Amino acid sequence: MAAGSTPDAVGTRVLIAGVGYQFMRDLSVGPVLVPELQRMDWPPGVEVDDWSIGPIHIVQRVEAQPRPYDRIVLFAAVERGREPGRVSSYRWLGNLPEPEEIQQRVGEAVMGVIHLDNLLIVGQQFGALPADVVVVEIEPEDTGWGAGFTPRIESVLAETVATVRRFALDGYDD
């Protein structure tokens, strides 16, 4: 599906998926926002799911689909050393690391590690991702155990939802 093309009744399939752990403060953005996104009105062909499960299970879930997704929009809180609360987005280009790192990521996936980078690498390695993958990330402030977000993260949740919605409907325009 070309960037800028929108889901419609012709059969375009778009998946929006949150990734993260429950009860890990700001790192819980993915699974916590999924229900809010599921309650929104979407055109035919748009699905919202919680992908806070191991990447190997995700690969199997995607392979079991009757038709592949044309676009996937993933969102999560990920520590990258940016300003806490910053919402960033990019198109996943599918570039894989060296085979040793891929093997390490597969091993972590089998052990149940849930991390956006593992999902992208394992999904790409096993051919489960479409060419059109958009990633929306929030830089977390508090990555400790517990419920609820820090005020800084709470203040960007609406922006995150709007960003995810825009990319799901319009694609990522390079």
pLDDT digits 0-9 by tens, 31-66? 999 999 999 999 999 999 999 998 999 999 999 998
Nearest to 1 by CA among 74, 59, 73, 88: 73
78, 88 Cβ separation under 8 angstroms = no
Q: What percent of the chain has pLDDT over 70?
A: 94
What DSSP designation does 28 have?
G
Does 95 score more than 50 pLDDT? yes
The rounded distance, in Å, linking the Cα atoms of 82 and 28 is 18
Confidence of residue 109 (pLDDT cuts 50, 70, 90): confident
Does 5 score more than 60 pLDDT? no
- Residue 94 Cα to chain centre, angstroms: 14
Residue 51: CB partners within 8 Å, gap ≥ 6?
Answer: 17, 18, 19, 30, 58, 74, 119
Q: Report domain extents, the chain.
A: 14-22+34-141+166-170
Residue 145: CB partners within 8 Å, gap ≥ 6?
Answer: 23, 24, 25
Q: Which CATH class is domain 14-22+34-141+166-170?
A: alpha beta
